[in-house]
Structure 1
């Protein structure tokens, strides 16, 4: 094949030209086209723009700061525990609730009605905290939205820079906000004649976490200012460096610093607004302004500084250093890894699809590129579920890193996430009478505790995820090092899965449950046995675990093979289609509770890779997917439903349906900033990060396909005016 042909392959179908390009794309031109511009004041229902690095994010209102809306400064490392329950009972008195399982009583992490306060404490703790608010102060008071006119704000994606301009009393203000990939820091450059007039200053404030009853399950603004005596802040000048100072914040066992630094040529001074020990809502408020040492005729018209958040006191980088690093790092991010260019398409939906692709890549880098852990579902914008992440969602949050050619970020999370939770998960399985590691559902790395909950305790499909992720890692890097890195986690997972399956003496098969909850969390847990998707996933994962040992030339535990060969058959109904779980007949399709979200049946021939000895009949799975398409109508689909529908449609050869689900804009909403909205009855504030990340995973699927698949563009119909150019994408398993 010539070099030209290797760069450009043209497919002609029905007289319509559709190109697939692996050559050079003008990435900067495309990325810049989708900069986010806002010219209206936002309110508390609007998602803020962000800067950050995956472990840390700073969320801003129209001022480029947190001035008239107290948005959050969140990190992956700052957590807090509420005071113990007032009942006097310690959380250690909670031991779960028993459920009959395979003929014996087993204690699960289910809310105990006799220990309501203790159960709620375990659900809500530890909780992610807001590190502090940084905003503008005008004429001695916090600047209000009503004082602002002519706002304009632009998120420049290529450089990760937010530039905000507005007027106060007719005078211009410009704020440039940038994050840093190397440090959990944000840099500000504030320019206005109001600075030299002494009218415009910077304000810091520190909230305290509320008591986390169910009232605070979803926190748009994390923390409150109602308990000033429950925490302390202290101004700690830097005796060695006149260009920096520090604020220490202590909340019982949690302590961290805001390390501040500014250029020597524009010195600043930090003062505390009130006396330590004050019982007012402003007790922990500080003001940063040009130093009083500056002579009156030399007062600067700008304030430039860095706020670096850290568990320890340190001297951060200068603003100029962070500006230089930030722009370089974002350029490298956009220039490397996968890219999809739809800008030559004539299809009317191409522009919005391109916008979502570009903005999703920005948002996952800011919210989901953490070290050693998966993001919470609302990323680093607000707290849903007390800031904890969900183990069943780790694929939808993180698999895209591998298929978009950004393996570093995938490897930053895995298998470290599982290794951190391995000890507690082994202890959990042992306490319940099983072998191996039973992974939690809703958790946090510090404790590894599985937050009590009916669904949390009985959900199954997070257990096999390590095999899927390990296989994805191996497909990208098929080396012995990859095998060895994952082997301990895979072994512990497979040991649990083989141990958990219960032998049914009447059938001779190994059952899964009851009690169980399926993927969609809408099945009756005490009677649900042998969920179709979970059975197929169990089989796949035990086979991958065995294959893993074979690749390492190690013995395969006989129980893995025995259980995988003797799992119960996938349940079917009298119509010859798969059912959600065993015992249902074809009337289940009319069950409003089940047909409201039957996505697990789509996953049988979608996200789940196909093995040669798979128990999934591909033709039956295809026909089942066609039936699902009839009952799971647009108004019912929410969350990560669209990505899995698009993937399934591509895999069964229905490109038109695949692109429909990626472009169902009337139902699948992305806001003006490009954040996916969960929709439906989710009850959570935006963003919904599995929506953005799952969308990217589905796009890669629809462009380059999957291992063992045939052809490219399985999700783009040839006759619909799509011209797809791509670089750096990798096939899914």
Structure 2
């Protein structure tokens, strides 16, 4: 049987060939996949973005947020809703007790007797939208009906969005750029409508709603319905080319620092008087100032968002350095070139690879924290990140050779969460540090959830990520920096494991949830993947101590070498202990058996996993986990497993099953693969 090999080439040096005298080979490949739009988008379309990983500005066809109120999100802007009223008190919440091997343990689960407090803890703090910047035409927000002949392009190599269109027959051009050095966006706008005064810049500031479950996912974060709940004001500045808007939302306050060139002055004005109860109460205009009775037909300005009042960089400074910063990024680390492949599916895979590299730099390069599931595009799960996802969302920085971005996140993330995680474990009667599930770095609270409180597989991640750090930098400084984190995690993992006197082995759970979150928690004992990952994590912790020349805690060794085995039924791995062979026909379980695939894929070799059994299990899963059932990140997991077991045909199939795994024009997954067959 012929095998179509995509010919993946990892390039450490950009000089691997020539496209022409002026364009580097990498640049030619990257630029081929620039995103181009020639029709107005709607609410169901993803925006284009500029940003730096800590901050992102999301745009519609105008290069701003004019016809759709897309978000301006950051890693630092958070807000707490008003506390529940009535008889419920935040201090009354202590979790929900569940019997755990003879004792009651309080887990982070919503308390049915405290529904308001439980929901508040789930949804707070929540990430806020810093504001909207768009275009205003003849005294009102520019409507889509006035826009024609729209053409937009995201230049991936340079990190520039260029948008051209006509408004009432007059041409408009907007160039949008982000900045790697500050949480800022800069604009260059050209149109005769600026000179006539018909076209202005519009800034508006929403307020976070009370985050009931209705606002678990916010495509457009914030609302404009509560103008009296927050205040905005222009802060006086003696400099003629600067202005500042101060936004105060109870405990959350920040500035929008504006700056423009001296020779092209702008005028900032408020649309409504302070204290207005109108939906437009916090709307401002920025327009070309009259100079010798004439207005310019261009506007250049920077909008810098910060907790502090600062002097923003000049537009020209950002416009000069932004492309250089993107060039440096594209030249760093690995690069996949599929241009020599004869496989007709290679081009689409190349497109996805290139666009994903752009997106992670914009959405997933924050300092000391992991991205939320939707990055900096919109809010999912109230803007919080998920600790079980930190490997998927961040390990790529290390494996692609962009270690500095990885090191910007770890181990600082774990260091920040360590005190609250130690307190969590202690309150539950265990030693060490129990990492949260759904959280943020401001509080470290593990948001209550029926699944959240019982999930296990985030616990060994710190060992996995520490090993990536050590591979990149095998120095004593690395060992010492991570030591307290790994020790606390291992102490918890050894303490959590319960010795089964009947088997003589150490069990995990119940109650527990595994990777797939689809098993009955009160019955879920010794999940196969979690058992294997527990063994891997404790083995890494022991090796860490050996490298440091320190004593290995006896409990770590006792538990690691006496953990229960990943359960088997008829020579195949089973999801958890106690199942019989009929589980393969149970749609609740066979609909998503990805955890068993992960035993021989993302998980490094461990004595807990028999490679032959894992291989046979993977073949069985191929029979039952059919295309119509595969969801989300299931396909990447299957591809990783296939590559690991030496089946490149299967790996390529899963990476190129485009009829089931749709990515839009901007390179974002449509539901991450919804299991449905899509035809063009």
Is TM > 0.5 for Structure 1 vs Structure 2? Answer: yes
Q: Distance in 2 between matches of 1:251 and 1:14?
A: 59
Contact preservation (8 Å) 2:84, 2:117: yes
**Superimposed CA distance per residue, residues 623-647 of structure 1 (whole angstroms, 9 cap, x where no aligned partner):** 0011111111112112111111111
Partner secondary structure for residue 172 of structure 1 = strand
**Superimposed CA distance per residue, residues 247-303 of structure 1 (whole angstroms, 9 cap, x where no aligned partner):** 0000000000000000000000100111111111000000000124x1224x21011
**Superimposed CA distance per residue, residues 368-419 of structure 1 (whole angstroms, 9 cap, x where no aligned partner):** 0000000000000000000000000000000110111100000011111000
Which residue of 621, 625, 636 corresponds with 2:614?
621
Q: Distance in 1 between matches of 2:442 and 2:242?
A: 31
Contact preservation (8 Å) 1:237, 1:244: no
Q: Distance in 2 between matches of 1:43 and 1:236?
A: 35
Q: Match of 2:246?
A: 248
Q: Distance in 1 between matches of 2:10 and 2:60?
A: 39
Which residue of 380, 386, 409 corresponds with 1:384?
380
Partner secondary structure for residue 172 of structure 2 = strand
Please, which runs of 5 or more residues in structure 2 have no aligned partner? 17-24, 676-680
Q: Distance in 1 between matches of 2:351 and 2:631?
A: 20
Q: Distance in 2 between matches of 1:640 and 1:54?
A: 22
**Superimposed CA distance per residue, residues 467-495 of structure 1 (whole angstroms, 9 cap, x where no aligned partner):** 11111111122111211111110000000
Which residue of 585, 598, 601 corresponds with 1:603?
598
The answer to whether residue 632 in structure 2 is matched with residue 639 in structure 1 is yes
Q: Distance in 2 between matches of 1:18 and 1:341?
A: 8
Structure 1 segments, 4+ long, off by >4 Å, are 13-23, 679-682
Q: Distance in 2 between matches of 1:471 and 1:33?
A: 36
The answer to whether residue 657 in structure 2 is matched with residue 658 in structure 1 is no
Q: Distance in 1 between matches of 2:255 and 2:65?
A: 18
Which residue of 479, 484, 492 corresponds with 2:475?
479
Which residue of 507, 519, 538 corresponds with 1:542?
538
Q: Distance in 1 between matches of 2:367 and 2:164?
A: 34
Q: Distance in 2 between matches of 1:16 and 1:596?
A: 30
**Superimposed CA distance per residue, residues 142-197 of structure 1 (whole angstroms, 9 cap, x where no aligned partner):** 00111100000000001100000000111100000000000000000000011001
Q: Distance in 2 between matches of 1:430 and 1:211?
A: 32
Q: Match of 2:211?
A: 212
RMSD: 1.5
Q: Distance in 2 between matches of 1:667 and 1:381?
A: 24
Contact preservation (8 Å) 2:52, 2:363: yes
The answer to whether residue 433 in structure 2 is matched with residue 434 in structure 1 is no
Q: Distance in 2 between matches of 1:603 and 1:471?
A: 18
Contact preservation (8 Å) 1:87, 1:117: no
Partner secondary structure for residue 340 of structure 1 = coil
Q: Distance in 2 between matches of 1:19 and 1:680?
A: 23
**Superimposed CA distance per residue, residues 496-536 of structure 1 (whole angstroms, 9 cap, x where no aligned partner):** 00000011122111100000001000010011000000000
The answer to whether residue 261 in structure 2 is matched with residue 263 in structure 1 is yes
CA separation of 1:199 and 1:18: change in aligned 2, threshold 3 A: closer
Q: Distance in 1 between matches of 2:142 and 2:252?
A: 30
Q: Match of 1:718?
A: none
Superposition deviation, residue 86 in structure 1: 2.0
Q: Distance in 2 between matches of 1:191 and 1:261?
A: 17
Q: Distance in 1 between matches of 2:89 and 2:189?
A: 49
Superposition deviation, residue 678 in structure 1: 2.7
Superposition deviation, residue 90 in structure 1: 2.1
**Superimposed CA distance per residue, residues 585-626 of structure 1 (whole angstroms, 9 cap, x where no aligned partner):** 111000001011000000111110004xx1210000000011
Partner secondary structure for residue 399 of structure 1 = helix
Q: Distance in 1 between matches of 2:122 and 2:306?
A: 26
Which residue of 290, 293, 302 corresponds with 1:296?
293
CA separation of 1:148 and 1:362: change in aligned 2, threshold 3 A: same
Superposition deviation, residue 87 in structure 1: 2.1
Q: Distance in 2 between matches of 1:400 and 1:594?
A: 29
CA separation of 1:277 and 1:337: change in aligned 2, threshold 3 A: same
CA separation of 1:36 and 1:90: change in aligned 2, threshold 3 A: same
Q: Distance in 2 between matches of 1:655 and 1:678?
A: 26
Q: Distance in 1 between matches of 2:672 and 2:588?
A: 18
Q: Distance in 2 between matches of 1:245 and 1:88?
A: 45
Q: Distance in 2 between matches of 1:218 and 1:166?
A: 31
Partner secondary structure for residue 336 of structure 2 = strand
Q: Match of 2:275?
A: 277
Alignment of 1:557-706 (within 5 A): 557-573=553-569, 575-611=570-606, 614-679=607-672
Q: Distance in 1 between matches of 2:673 and 2:53?
A: 27
Q: Distance in 2 between matches of 1:21 and 1:419?
A: 33
The answer to whether residue 325 in structure 2 is matched with residue 332 in structure 1 is no
Partner secondary structure for residue 568 of structure 2 = coil
Q: Match of 1:61?
A: 60
CA separation of 1:14 and 1:342: change in aligned 2, threshold 3 A: closer
Q: Distance in 2 between matches of 1:656 and 1:17?
A: 10
Superposition deviation, residue 14 in structure 1: 9.1
Q: Match of 1:29?
A: 28
CA separation of 1:445 and 1:39: change in aligned 2, threshold 3 A: same
Q: How does the TM-score come out when normalised to structure 1?
A: 0.89
Q: Distance in 2 between matches of 1:577 and 1:162?
A: 52
Which residue of 522, 525, 528 corresponds with 2:524?
528
Q: Distance in 1 between matches of 2:665 and 2:4?
A: 36
Contact preservation (8 Å) 1:429, 1:436: yes
Alignment of 1:299-448 (within 5 A): 299-448=295-444
Partner secondary structure for residue 454 of structure 1 = coil
Q: Match of 2:22?
A: none
CA separation of 1:15 and 1:476: change in aligned 2, threshold 3 A: closer
Partner secondary structure for residue 573 of structure 2 = coil
CA separation of 1:344 and 1:680: change in aligned 2, threshold 3 A: closer
**Superimposed CA distance per residue, residues 41-73 of structure 1 (whole angstroms, 9 cap, x where no aligned partner):** 000110000000000000000000000100000
The answer to whether residue 117 in structure 2 is matched with residue 118 in structure 1 is yes
Contact preservation (8 Å) 1:603, 1:648: yes
